[in-house]
Amino acid sequence: MARQAPAKKPVKIDTGASASKVNIKTRLDGWIKDHRRVSKDSFKRLMAQPINSIVTWLVIGIALALPVGLYVALGNVQELSHRWDGDAQISLFLHQRVSAQSEQRLQQQLRSWPEIESLHIISKEQALEEFQAISGFADVLQHLDHNPLPTVIEIGPTPQFSDVAGAEKLLKKLQALPPVELAKLDLQWVQRLTAMLEVGQRLALGLVILLSMGVLLVIGNTIRLEIENRRDEIIVTKLVGATDAYVRRPFLYTGLWYGLGGGFIASIIIAVGLAILNKPVATLAGLYQSDYMLLGLSFSDMVSLWMMAGILGFFGAWFSVSKHLDAMEPR
Amino acid sequence: MIQFDNVTKRYDTGHEALKRVSFHIKANEMVFLTGHSGAGKSTLLKLIMMMEQPSDGQVLVDGFDLGAQSRKHIPFHRRQIGVVFQNHQLLFDRSVFENVALPLQIAGYTPREIGRRVRAALDKVGLLEKEKHNPITLSGGQQQRVGIARAVVHKPKILLADEPTGNLDPELSSEIMYLFEQFNRVGVTVLLASHDLSLITGMKHRMLTLSDGAVVGGFD
């Protein structure tokens, strides 16, 4: 049975009586089938011009890979800073003259403080050994008549005292202890890093907006050319009664395919970039005695990247279609 | 079926293509629209197709005032009409079958129904064996017949033709005319614009004559 499109009130269609009997399910079924046909058809059209399509996909992919790559980089820096942020450490450098006994006493005293979670002592001798091993100054140190290194106590504050304000309060208290020559809290770099991260995030956001607009324009322009190329077809279909939605549909799908393909290429670019960087980063991390591994895009990140790209493609096509297609009337 | 009441079409350039044109074509009628080139034949057909809006007056198709219909209804209005153009307007990126199937596809017919109707239409114009060909490989007369098949495949109430024999030799022309008469015989209202008087005077149908945008003969 024919599924005639809904005849709007003022127009009678002579098969209208039977058409109106066609139930919604059949009509919906036909609509879905048409979408399936059009989506397949527009994909085939892209594949029929592989070079053009691949170039467009690459342009979109590169434009998307830039901001997304920046986000990935920021995510990694943030992850690193979190790692260090979590165990904000205060180093106490004791006076050279402090006896082993008073060191012992100090240790016990500190252990009783509720602000302190962990405590690690590096004795002068340990420090010297370690320094000799890794600094490469072993020969020079041999010539010194006494050990110039102080005893260091590394203090890990409890979580409440791990933030900037809490750690600074604790620092003051520790600095006031007589055996302590210097109490050092390395928090300033964390603050600086946080500020820099914020700048970076703004930058990435700006890039996302600009490059997304670029993607919209690229897709819009590509679709405009496509519309020009299919002008005859559009006019003929309009003459035989195609609705605007029907005429628009293949172009919107084309935009969607461009976007999705571009998003897919962007995720490949990022994956390849990460693979290239992973080894040097691991080496670098090793030099800092860390086993840090680069964070990539999770699967859900990737899916949202594809979706974002698809949506961009769709809307790029939409703008182009509403600007150029609706104006294309048979004359 | 098609009624014009004092229809004037003035273009932005100031040119009046139609001047207070009134006529009435009844259902099941077959009417020839004649006149010198530039007399307003194409404009008149375009008004029926809602490709143009009249500057003044009323166009009624099947009892409905086209001026009262919104842009959204244009596609549904056009689905009741089949059109044949002088330059046939076939798409060369697809087969004969797909060209003829276009109106059905747009109206949402099932593939099975499309297959059945397209073959019936192609059979009627004698081109069933060409369904898989690209229309570019066909002769001018065959292309025009494909255009006719496309115009009638969805069983329109009205069939419009703008110089359908303009590019054809006399023998092919009368074949095409015979086709239109056949469709008229099964109840389709046919309005056919042609300036080929030698061809149409021999056929016993009303002739609506336009001259400089005004009807000068055959209004009723």
What is the average per-residue pLDDT within A193-217?
87
pLDDT above 60: residue A158: yes
Share of chain B above pLDDT 70, in %: 99
Residues of A in Cβ contact (< 8 Å) with B76: 5, 7-8, 11, 13, 241
In the block, residue with structure tokens 């195609």: A242
From the CA of A46, how many Å to the nearest CA of chain B? 15
CB contact under 8 A, B79 and A240: yes
Per-residue model confidence (pLDDT) at position A138: 72
Task: Give the span between the Cα atoms of A156 and A89, in whole angstroms.
Answer: 5
DSSP chain B: -EEEEEEEEE-TTS-EEEEEEEEEE-TT-EEEEE-STTSSHHHHHHHHTTSS--SEEEEEETTEEGGGS-GGGHHHHHTTEEEE-TT----TTS-HHHHHHHHHHHHT--HHHHHHHHHHHHHHTT-GGGTTS-GGGS-HHHHHHHHHHHHHTT--SEEEEESTTTTS-HHHHHHHHHHHHHHHHTT-EEEEE---HHHHTTS-SEEEEEETTEEEE---
pLDDT above 90: residue A266: yes
Residues of B in Cβ contact (< 8 Å) with A8: 72-73, 76
Task: Give the span between the Cα atoms of A106 and B125, in whole angstroms.
Answer: 108
**CATH code at B1-80+156-220:** 3.40.50.300
pLDDT above 60: residue B121: yes
Per-residue model confidence (pLDDT) at position A84: 60
Say yes or no: B202 contacts chain A, CB-CB below 8 A: no
Per-residue model confidence (pLDDT) at position A85: 52
What is the average per-residue pLDDT within B69-92?
89
Question: What confidence tier does A22 reach under pLDDT thresholds 50, 70, 90?
Answer: low
Helix (H) or strand (E) holding B82: strand B81-84
From the CA of A55, how many Å to the nearest CA of chain B? 24
pLDDT above 80: residue B131: yes
Residues of B in Cβ contact (< 8 Å) with A10: 64, 68-69, 73
Q: For residue B126, what are its two tokens?
A: 């004698």
Task: Give the span between the Cα atoms of A144 and A117, in whole angstroms.
Answer: 36
pLDDT above 70: residue B52: yes
Range among A86-100, A107-121, A221-235 rated most confident = A221-235
The per-residue pLDDT of chain A, averaged, comes to 82
Longest Cα–Cα distance in chain B: 50
* Residue B53, CA distances (Å) to A255, B1, B9, B56 in order: 33, 18, 8, 9
From the CA of B98, how many Å to the nearest CA of chain A? 12
Q: For residue A327, what are its two tokens?
A: 């104006």
Per-residue model confidence (pLDDT) at position A82: 67
Contact predicate A35/A248, CB 8 Å: no
Q: B10 forms bridges with which residues in the sheet?
A: B16
Instruction: Please report the domains of chain A, with CATH numbers, ordered by start residue.
Output: 33-83+192-325 (no CATH), 89-186 (3.30.70.3040)
Share of chain A above pLDDT 90, in %: 25
CB contact under 8 A, A241 and B68: no
For A293, phi then psi, to 5°, come to: -115, 140
Give CATH 3.40.50.300 domain extents, chain B.
1-80+156-220
Listed residue (B195, B91, B197) closest to B150, CA to CA: B91
pLDDT above 60: residue A166: yes
pLDDT above 90: residue B78: yes
Listed residue (A232, A325, A330) closest to B89, CA to CA: A232
C-alpha A39, offset from chain centre: 30
Report pLDDT digits (tens) over A42-90.
Answer: 999 888 889 989 999 999 999 999 988 888 888 888 777 766 655 577 8
Task: Give the span between the Cα atoms of A178 and A20, in whole angstroms.
Answer: 95
Task: Give the span between the Cα atoms of A77 and A72, in whole angstroms.
Answer: 9
Query: Regarding predicted confidence, which is higher, A128 or A81?
Result: A128
Task: Give the span between the Cα atoms of A11 and B78, in whole angstroms.
Answer: 10
Task: Give the span between the Cα atoms of A271 and B172, in whole angstroms.
Answer: 65
pLDDT above 80: residue A13: no
Within chain A, strands assigned E span: 90-94, 116-122, 152-157, 180-185
In the block, residue with structure tokens 């979408």: A35
Query: Regarding predicted confidence, which is higher, A220 or A197?
Result: A220
ipTM of the complex: 0.89
